[in-house]
Structure 1
Amino acid sequence: MKLALIGATGFVGKAVLNEALQRGYEVTAIARNPQAAGINNDKLKTVTADIWDTDNLAAALKGHDAVVSAFNAGWTNPNLYNDFLKGSEAIQQAVKQSGVKRLLVVGGAGSLYVAPGLQLVDSPQFPAEWKAGATAARDYLNILKKEDELDWTFLSPAINLHPGERTGKFRTGTDEPLFNEKGQHEITVEDLAVAILNELENNEFVKRRFTVGY
């Protein structure tokens, strides 16, 4: 598979890059400074691209089998909400322009339902410092649900996403957190990357959102 990876130098992006290369994918790592990934591999191509330049990004995406967007507008960005939405829509448009049909977007857990009609981001206990980014990801999912040209998938990571071990063993769900026996919804970023590439290979959640957890 030829995979274009946007945000390849971020927390999630690096894990996806490592997993894809281990599976023998040909990967084009796209970032403002893709060399920051710090990986040398014959199957890795690095491209410097600005997501706001739709034509340039579309050209970089052309010819791939799938695009994974691990785009993050920056948690300390004072304009995080607007930049995340505009950036995500720019990526979506570039994918359509490129002719690639398969898009997997790594979003957030905030849009998961913790009670009937109540999403995590709207719950009283949700941390204020994560609110703007989580709300943006939730609102972008609603935009993506109207997309009928692309074979899109939106992944909500576990509430507790952290570095750790790659086990390859986890559960998948759709719109609700997958709590374990301790009441935790968690997964390592390494296993999140496994879930992302499993979905690209199995196409279980096309035009749908899914989540993962132990």
Structure 2
Amino acid sequence: MKIAILGATGWIGGAILKEALSRGHQVTALVRDPSKLSATDVAVHAVDLEQPLVAQTFAGVDVVIAAVGGRAQQNHDLVASTVQHLLDVLPNAKVPRLLWVGGAGSLEVAPGVTLVSSPDFPAAYKDEALAQGEALQVFRAAQTAINWTFVSPAAEIYPGESEGPYRLGGDSFFTDANGRSRISVTDYAKAMLDEAEQGTHANQRISVAY
């Protein structure tokens, strides 16, 4: 499978890149600064998300996996706008699928009540969580031929190796036996590549946690 990873130099995007290569996929890294990419066995394209995306960049790609956040550029509007740009451009490039690295903030802790709206949600991550929630709304409102999946990690996603099987959920926030919502970035990447290969959750949000 030919996979393009947008944001492959980020820590989540980098884990997804590593997992994709370990499974033998042909990977194209789409990054703002190619000099930051350490992998040598991938094709690389420089992409500035504040500029229009070009369909030719995605030529021949089977699935795009996008790991986009606004924190690095202090521009959280970039998150939802990138979703719209991809939904506009990918059909012209004949790319059928888009997987999105989402956030946990839009998961529901009760019907109609999101995690980001809870009083204990960390203020430092609120703008980022709200931006990912807006991105999800763009996906859900889109009239598009693109097969998309929005993949929300657990509330705690952290560097580390695989810790064992993960669980998949939907829109509802869920925790482990100790009441924690957690996933290592390695197991999140495994879940993302499992979805890329299996394509079992078309046009919906899924969530990943232990």
Partner of 2:160: 164
Partner of 1:36: 36
Within 5 Å, give how 1:123-202 maps onto structure 2: 123-147=118-142, 148-167=144-163, 169-202=165-198
Distance of 2:164 and 2:176 partners within structure 1: 17
Report how far residue 75 of structure 1 moved: 5.5
Partner of 1:71: 68
How many pairs were matched up?
209
Partner of 1:8: 8
Partner of 1:53: 51
Partner of 2:109: 114
Q: Secondary structure at the match of 1:98?
A: coil
Superposition RMSD on alpha carbons, in Å? 1.5
Superposition TM-score, scaled by structure 2 size:
0.94
Superposition TM-score, scaled by structure 1 size:
0.92
Q: Secondary structure at the match of 1:89?
A: helix
Q: Secondary structure at the match of 1:96?
A: coil
Q: Report if the CA contact (8 A) 1:35-1:46 is conserved.
A: no
Give the aligned residue type for 1:49. Answer: V
Distance of 1:126 and 1:69 partners within structure 2: 25
Partner of 1:205: 201
Report how far residue 40 of structure 1 moved: 1.8
Identical-residue share of aligned pairs (%) = 37
Distance of 2:117 and 2:73 partners within structure 1: 20
Query: Segments of 4+ in structure 1 off by > 6 A?
Result: none
Report how far residue 198 of structure 1 moved: 0.2
Q: Report if the CA contact (8 A) 2:64-2:97 is conserved.
A: yes
Question: Which consecutive unaligned segments of at least 5 residues does structure 1 have?
Answer: none
Report how far residue 33 of structure 1 moved: 1.2
